[in-house]
């Protein structure tokens, strides 16, 4: 495996960062997770745009243009012969002193890894997943805004620990007001009748790129799609429930907090959207070769 590091391709065993990198010392940096399907990088420009927005929000100046970043991702996929895979794009603050001051870091590190990911076991995509709501509250937008995809994912990791300790693979976090926010790396949708409902960005969620694609595809397919604040009551009374994310893709959920959703099998509309998503993902994107 060849890793992109600051303009060079480096063998995996030599791809190392300093222990003085503020990405390590403080989680000071930003990242993206991107998929490649069928020899193309899916929604690459949208991911690069979001990376630069995250960076701007933390005054991290990425030392290359967006187009150069797009080219670097494609190059990394090409050199690793990636046709289907998962790309992790990381920009750290770089090497600095032991204090917090980010301005001691002279050069941000740009790292691109073209690998693979399997977020949940395969059979959960057929059978549906069980999840729980957890006590860990989603970061409030007035502190670290959830739209900043920063290297500090401790809030989400705490929620993930609660899920795994509770015997399920995924957690849903509520926001500080008690409304449904999102899962640890996925957005949440419920379906009532012919309507898809998902929390709006102001609920304090990351505006997922998969979320937005699924909303568009659903509208094109004639479903009603609404952004709406949701309570646990709404979720417990949903006909269908699913999560979306780059790594997760579209994953059906069949129980939450031990309440069965619908008839306990992945829903019809969820399956339809999974199929439409797969078709779309395999037909668009930036060509690698």
Q: Which residues bind ligand PMP (CB under 6 A)?
A: 33, 156, 182, 185-187, 206, 208-211, 244-246
Give CA–CA dist 113/103, Å, rounded: 26
Q: Please give the structure tokens belonging to residue 168.
A: 């399920």
Nearest to 127 by CA among 11, 210, 251: 251
Q: Please give the structure tokens belonging to residue 226.
A: 């609404």
Q: Please give the structure tokens belonging to residue 185.
A: 């790396």
Q: For residues 4 and 86, which CB has a smaller minimum distance to ligand PMP in the complex? A: 86
Q: For residues 12 and 56, which CB has a smaller minimum distance to ligand PMP in the complex? A: 56
Q: For residues 85 and 185, which CB has a smaller minimum distance to ligand PMP in the complex? A: 185
Give CA–CA dist 276/289, Å, rounded: 25
- Is 189 within 8 Å of 172 (Cβ atoms)? no
């Amino acid at each position: 495996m060849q890793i992109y590091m600051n303009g060079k391709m480096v063998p995996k065993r030599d791809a190392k960062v300093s222990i003085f990198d503020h990405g390590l010392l403080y989680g000071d940096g930003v990242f993206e997770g991107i998929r490649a399907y069928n020899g193309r990088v899916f929604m690459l420009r949208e991911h690069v745009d979001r990376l630069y927005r995250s960076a701007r929000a933390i005054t991290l100046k990425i030392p290359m243009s967006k187009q150069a970043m797009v080219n670097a991702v494609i190059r990394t996929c090409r050199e690793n012969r990636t046709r289907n895979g998962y790309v992790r794009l990381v920009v750290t603050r770089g090497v600095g002193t032991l204090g917090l001051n980010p301005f001691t870091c002279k050069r941000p590190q740009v790292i691109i890894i073209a690998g693979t990911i399997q977020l949940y076991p395969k059979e959960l995509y057929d059978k549906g997943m069980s999840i729980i709501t957890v006590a860990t509250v989603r970061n409030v937008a007035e502190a670290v805004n959830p739209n900043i995809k920063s290297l500090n994912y401790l809030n989400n990791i705490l929620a993930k620990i609660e899920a795994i300790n509770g015997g399920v693979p995924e957690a849903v976090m509520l926001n500080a007001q008690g409304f449904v926010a999102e899962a640890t790396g996925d957005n949440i949708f419920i379906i009532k009748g012919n309507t898809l409902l998902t929390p709006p960005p102001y609920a304090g969620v990351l505006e997922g790129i998969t979320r937005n694609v699924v909303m568009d595809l659903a509208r094109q397919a004639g479903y009603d799609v609404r952004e709406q604040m949701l309570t646990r009551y709404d979720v417990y009374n949903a006909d269908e429930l699913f999560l979306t994310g780059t790594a997760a893709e579209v994953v059906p959920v069949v129980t939450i907090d031990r309440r069965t959703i619908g008839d306990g099998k992945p829903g019809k509309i969820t399956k339809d959207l999974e199929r439409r998503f797969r078709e779309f993902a395999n037909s668009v994107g930036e060509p690698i070769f």
